[in-house]
Amino acid sequence: LNIVGHSRVLRVPFRSTKAINRAAHSLIEADESLRSQDDRPQPDLEAEGLQDGPLPLLLTSSSEANETAWIHDHLQSLLAEGFAPQHIAILCHNRWHLKKWEAWSKRGVYVQHFDRMKGLEFQAVIIPHLQSAFAAPLDPDNVAMIRRKLFTAMTRARYALALTCAGTLPTPLIPLIDYVQQQTITPHAGD
């Protein structure tokens, strides 16, 4: 196609709410290599028309079993609130996590690895297992790559976002704390 005209950089991130965008952009701002990229437009997070919404949830738990149980309960709550299964996504940083959520995939929830989410959007997104997102020792290039992918995963959520972690929150995710509602997942009976 022979198209002539002006290009325009879109600075208003209308896909997600202000709260989700602020949390996601906190990861970019905390990373020198991502923050200083020449082709990155500075987003306008105060633009009129940008949707309000709840703060993203950042949940920590003492065990992966508690984390998993909370996610199952949260998915049930989302369905009870009227979210359609096809408007909910579980986005995992490791492919081996996908099998854990297979039953939800069969129920219509989009369950996929970070590499298969570009261009998609959902009303609600859950990003589980963040305890294993960053390998030690923390290599700056790997941290930047994971933060960038996590940014993309977070901004797939139009309205509701939950991030979960069993154990201690990885250091590269500390910038999120000022932009999320933190909760500790209480142990289920028998734990």
Is residue 130 within 8 A of residue 173, CB to CB? The reply is yes
Q: Is the pLDDT of residue 89 over 60?
A: yes
The contacts of residue 182 (CB under 8 Å, 6+ apart) are 58, 59, 60
* Both tokens assigned to 43: 């987003």
Q: Give the tens place of pLDDT for each residue, 96-155.
A: 999 999 999 999 999 999 999 888 999 999 999 999 999 778 899 999 999 999 999 999
pLDDT band for 9, please (50, 70, 90 cuts): very low
Better-scored residue on pLDDT, 171 or 48: 171
Please give the average per-residue pLDDT across 57-78, as a whole number.
96
Please, which pLDDT band fits residue 49 given cuts at 50, 70 and 90? low
pLDDT band at residue 68 using 50, 70 and 90 as cut-offs: very high
pLDDT at position 119 is: 84
